[in-house]
């Protein structure tokens, strides 16, 4: 599968077959994530892989947009390192690059998963304190996303996209 095909065909998957992931597959996904660009090549990302059914179910408790975790054989908790001192002085617009870097790594992981016949769903609906406690996330790091992963039970249609004519600006906004 070429890169453009993976980009255009990837979908958020919210139902999965009851099939676990090989350890080597999990490692390949994280390796693909690690090829993302990052500011100063800082690579501020960390990946926790969870398969424990009770823990996956707990991540859905009291949340609204996380039901796919009840069927997912696994999930990544993706964390970013936040340096105590910002790398960029305040006023430069971007105080931390960590979220950008980590989001790029997540997208790599999603595309690699799709290319390998897996499905993923990026989940932003989580309680930071709950994740900190459950996964022993140390100070200086913060969870950025939960990524449900597994073998897709179905192929959803593409969700509508804003047309290029609307989002592309030539020269000025």
Ligand X SMILES: Cc1cc2nc3c(=O)[nH]c(=O)nc-3n(C[C@H](O)[C@H](O)[C@H](O)COP(=O)(O)O)c2cc1C
Query: Quick check: 33 and 45 in contact, CB under 8 A?
Result: yes
Instruction: Closer to ligand X by CB, 44 or 119: give it.
Output: 119
Minimal distance in Å, beta carbon 172 to ligand X?
Answer: 27
Q: Which residue is nearest to ligand X (CB)?
A: 124
SS3 120: strand
Contacts to ligand X from residues 102-141, by CB under 6 A: 121-125
Tokens 């993923």, residue located: 120
Site for ligand X contains 100 (CB under 6 A):
no
Number of residues that bind ligand X (CB under 6 A): 10
* Residue pair 147/75 in contact by the 8 Å Cβ criterion: yes
What kind and span of H or E run contains 136? none
Residue 38: CB minimum distance to ligand X, A: 18
When binding is defined by CB under 6 A, the residue of 11, 71, 87, 116 that contacts ligand X is: 11
Distance between CA atoms of residues 13 and 117, nearest Å: 12
Nearest to 113 by CA among 4, 18, 31: 31
Q: CA–CA separation, 69 vs 16, rounded Å?
A: 9
Contact pattern from residue 154 through residue 173 relative to ligand X, giving x for each residue in contact according to CB under 6 A and a dash for the rest: -----x--------------
Contact footprint for ligand X (CB under 6 A): 11-12, 14, 65, 121-125, 159
């Amino acid at each position: 599968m070429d890169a453009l095909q993976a980009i255009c065909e990837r979908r958020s998957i919210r139902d999965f077959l009851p099939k676990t992931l090989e350890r080597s597959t999990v490692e390949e996904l994280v390796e693909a994530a690690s090829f993302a660009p990052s500011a100063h090549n800082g690579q501020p990302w960390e990946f926790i892989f969870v398969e424990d059914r009770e823990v996956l179910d707990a991540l859905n408790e009291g949340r609204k947009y996380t039901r796919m975790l009840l069927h997912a054989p696994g999930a990544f908790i993706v964390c970013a390192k936040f340096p105590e001192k910002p790398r960029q002085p305040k006023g430069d617009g971007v105080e931390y690059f960590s979220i950008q870097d980590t989001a790029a790594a997540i997208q790599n992981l999603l595309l690699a998963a799709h290319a390998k016949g897996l499905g993923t769903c990026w989940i932003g609906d989580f309680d930071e304190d709950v994740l900190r406690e459950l996964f022993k996330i140390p100070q200086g790091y913060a969870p950025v996303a939960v990524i449900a992963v597994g073998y897709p039970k179905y192929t959803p249609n593409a969700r509508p996209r804003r047309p290029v004519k609307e989002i592309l600006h030539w020269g000025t906004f």
